[in-house]
Amino acid sequence: MSAADHYPLQTYIQQMVVVIDANTMTAEQIQRMSELSNRTLNAAKIFIAMIPVLVIYPFLQRFFITGITLGSVKE
């Protein structure tokens, strides 16, 4: 898995944050990066990582409910 397209979402987001090339950034972009707190960045990463789950869950919810119901029935 050396290609960036095959990385999991969390790894891709982490690399976007960690690998920052200051040589290609303008002074304004560098100023914005210095103002960005770690807390804000973590909140953004969590939100982005939750989007696929929030989109897929409603379609698969019936299977979860069926599985829970079948697992709870004792004979």
Question: Does residue 61 register a pLDDT over 70?
Answer: yes
User: Which two tokens mark 74?
Assistant: 């004792």
Virtual torsion, Cα 35, 36, 38, 42, nearest 10 deg? 170
What is the percent of the chain where pLDDT is above 90?
Answer: 0
Most confident range (mean pLDDT) of 24-28, 35-39, 71-75 is 24-28
pLDDT of residue 1: 47
pLDDT of residue 74: 67
Answer with the residue of higher pLDDT: 60 or 21.
Answer: 60
pLDDT of residue 69: 83
Question: Model pTM?
Answer: 0.43
